[in-house]
Every structure is written in structure tokens, then in C-alpha cells.
């Protein structure tokens, strides 16, 4: 919300929504390019598609020979980058916004205590706010001094507090302003109310800090589990799958020789499905990355949006490891 020239309020699009819209538009371009990679230009050569990805043009098979990369792998490059662009900026912005709110709110109890101390000397709420505004309260200082300047110009204390809560617009500030305003309207000793509100706010902040510290262990476990999953795929790709391919080719060649000579048939090993297996593993890593990131956000802050930054990090790292090392 922003004030217009007539003193009313104008609707203003939140920055988070702007970032989400811009990221969505850019991601949509990548999704379209990915879809174009799936459209063949020659029915006799399905691998020849409209768009070629600049990241990797060839794959190596288990015999060490270089083969053209299939269209699905090329399309997945753009799909994954589109997903990363969609969730990354929004997730990092929400995390920075949460850090900003935390930085503002951590000095709020100190300001409330100073106002309460000034009130105990017989000052009114407006006078106490003006006196307390001379202190230093970190990121909260400019807004407090603006509130004090409004009071000096004749704005009632209740209205100045309301405007203060609108500008800062954090849960703790809105809650404290509502309590203080009600106590001031009801009369009585506002200083005691301010002291209790300051104490309660500080206790909540300490509990949140302890929760974040304890949840850091779970965040570490989530990242370790994700990388263990990728390492397991690397080990399979380096040891088991090549041996499976060699055994399958040997069995197939033996079966052809026996078949040509009228001998018994051999058991068939579907080694040609190995690329499909690797593709399924690649998709599993991406799902793992997005889900684990969201889980981390929910565990630490209770919000899905703040977990999207972890999803972005895991998606990019998982994509790089799977595409260029596996």
C-alpha cells in the first residue's frame, strides 16, 4: 500500500509477486524451448529436432564411443533450467525478506522497554516515544524517528503507531502496536503493558532462535541424504551398469551364435534399457531436490516459500552432477 496525493491508499503489487511473474515468464520460454527439442524435423531421424541445447551435444556409451545425445535429454536441460529460474529468485527473495523482518524485530523489545522506562517518569505515550527515539535500534531506527517526527508535528500517538506498523509491516510489530493502542485507549499504566509486551516478544524471539539452531541439524541431514543418493547413482553408473551392458551383449552374441547353429537359446538381458534407467534416475534426483528443499523450508521456518532456495541449490547441483559427471 502507498499513500496518494489525496491522503488515500493506492494498491501496490508486492515485490514477491513481481518476481514470481517475471521468473514465470522467463521459465516459460525455457519450457517452450524444451518442448521444441521434442519435435522432430525429420520423421526418419527422430533425434534431429528444431533446437539443439548448447550444454552437451553428445553422450558416451558404455563402450566408450561417442553417440548423439537423444532429444529427451536435451529437452530435460531446458525443463530443469526453467524450473530453477521459476523457484530460485522467489525463494531467495522470501528468505531475504524473512531475514529483514528478523533484523527489524530483534530490536523491538529494546525500544518498548525504553518507552516503558520513559513512561514511568510520568510522561505520556507520545512523549515517551519521542524521548526513546533518540536511541539506536538498528534497522528499526529510521522508522522510529519518523514516528517521533510525526508526533512532534501533531499526529496523535495512536495514529503514529498505526502508520509505523503499516510501514514496517511485520507480525511482531503489528501485534505489539495493536496491544499498545488498546491499552492506551483504555487508560491506566501503559508502562506496565509495554514492559510485558517487550518481555513476551523477547521470549518468542529466543524460542525462534533456539528452534533455528536445533533445526540446522535436520537441514544438514537433508543435504547429506541428497548427495548420498547422487553418489549411489554414480557408483551404479561406474560399476554395475557397465558390467550389465557387457554381460547383456555377451549373452546376446552367444545366443545369436547358438541360434545360428541350432543350439539352445540363452537368457536375454535387457541391457538396451540402461539409458531409460538413467533417465528415470535423473528425474528422481530432480524430484528429490525439489521435495527436500521444500521440506527444509517447512522444518526451519514453517513456510514452503523459504524452502525454495534450498530446492534451487539442490536442483542446480543435482543437474550439474547428473549431466556432466554421471
User: 300: which 3 cell numbers?
Assistant: 526451519
pLDDT score of 268: 58
Per-residue pLDDT of the chain (326 residues; tens, 9 = 90+): 444 433 444 556 778 889 999 999 999 999 998 888 777 655 565 555 555 554 444 444 445 444 445 667 778 888 999 999 999 999 999 989 888 888 888 888 888 888 888 888 778 888 888 888 888 888 888 888 898 898 889 888 888 888 888 888 888 888 888 888 888 777 767 788 888 888 888 888 888 888 888 888 888 999 999 999 999 988 888 888 777 777 766 766 666 666 654 444 445 556 667 777 888 888 999 999 999 999 988 888 888 888 999 999 999 999 998 887 76
Within 13 Å of residue 209, how many CA atoms lie on the same side as its CB?
10
Region for residue 123 given its phi and psi (left: phi exceeds 0; alpha: psi -120 to 50; beta: otherwise): beta
User: Whose grid coordinates read 500500500?
Assistant: 1
CA dihedral 109, 111, 116, 117 (to 10 degrees): 120
Helices (H), 120-189: 125-132, 141-152, 157-168, 171-186
Main-chain dihedrals φ then ψ at residue 122, nearest 5 degrees? 95, 5
Paired residues of 66 in beta bridges:
60
pLDDT score of 85: 94
Cβ atoms of 71 and 37 within 8 Å: the answer is yes
| Sequence ranges of the domains in the chain | 13-105, 108-204, 208-260+267-324
CA–CA gap between residue 184 and residue 188 (Å, rounded): 7
CA–CA gap between residue 226 and residue 206 (Å, rounded): 31
Report the predicted TM-score, pTM, of the whole model to 2 decimal places: 0.75
End-to-end CA distance of the chain: 50
Cβ atoms of 292 and 222 within 8 Å: the answer is yes
User: Whose grid coordinates read 503489528?
Assistant: 174
pLDDT score of 42: 58
pLDDT score of 292: 92
pLDDT score of 317: 93
Positive or negative: CA dihedral 109, 201, 206, 221 = negative
State the pairing for strand pair 2-3/66-68.
Answer: unpaired
pLDDT score of 230: 92
Amino acid at each position: 500500500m502507498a499513500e496518494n496525493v489525496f491522503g488515500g491508499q493506492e494498491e501496490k503489487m508486492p515485490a514477491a509477486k513481481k518476481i514470481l511473474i517475471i521468473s514465470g515468464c522467463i521459465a516459460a520460454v525455457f519450457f517452450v524451448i524444451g518442448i521444441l527439442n521434442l519435435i522432430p524435423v525429420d520423421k526418419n531421424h527422430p533425434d534431429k529436432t528444431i533446437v539443439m541445447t548448447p550444454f552437451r551435444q553428445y553422450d558416451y556409451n558404455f563402450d566408450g564411443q561417442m553417440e548423439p545425445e537423444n532429444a529427451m535429454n536435451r529437452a530435460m536441460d531446458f525443463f530443469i533450467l526453467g524450473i530453477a529460474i521459476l523457484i530460485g529468485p522467489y525463494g531467495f527473495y522470501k528468505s531475504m525478506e524473512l531475514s529483514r523482518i528478523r533484523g527489524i524485530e530483534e530490536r523491538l523489545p529494546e525500544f518498548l522497554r525504553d518507552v516503558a522506562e520513559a513512561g514511568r517518569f510520568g510522561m505520556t505515550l507520545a512523549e515517551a516515544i519521542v524521548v526513546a527515539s533518540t536511541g539506536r535500534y538498528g534497522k528499526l531506527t529510521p522508522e522510529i524517528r519518523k514516528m517521533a517526527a510525526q508526533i512532534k508535528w501533531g499526529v496523535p500517538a495512536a495514529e503514529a503507531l498505526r502508520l509505523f506498523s503499516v510501514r514496517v509491516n511485520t507480525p511482531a510489530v503489528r501485534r505489539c502496536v495493536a496491544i499498545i493502542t488498546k491499552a492506551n485507549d483504555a487508560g491506566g499504566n501503559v508502562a506496565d503493558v509495554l514492559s510485558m509486551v517487550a518481555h513476551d516478544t523477547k521470549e518468542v524471539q529466543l524460542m525462534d532462535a533456539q528452534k533455528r539452531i536445533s533445526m540446522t541439524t535436520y537441514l544438514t541431514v537433508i543435504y547429506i541424504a541428497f548427495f548420498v543418493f547422487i553418489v549411489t547413482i554414480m557408483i551404479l553408473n561406474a560399476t554395475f551398469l557397465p558390467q550389465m551392458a557387457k554381460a547383456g551383449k555377451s549373452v546376446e552374441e552367444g545366443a545369436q551364435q547358438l541360434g545360428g547353429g541350432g543350439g539352445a537359446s540363452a537368457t536375454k538381458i535387457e541391457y538396451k534399457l540402461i539409458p531409460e534407467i538413467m533417465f528415470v534416475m535423473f528425474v528422481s534426483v530432480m524430484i528429490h531436490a525439489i521435495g527436500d528443499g521444500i521440506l527444509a523450508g517447512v522444518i526451519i521456518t514453517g513456510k514452503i516459500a523459504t524452502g525454495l532456495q534450498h530446492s534451487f541449490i539442490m536442483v542446480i547441483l543435482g543437474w550439474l552432477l547428473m549431466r556432466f559427471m554421471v
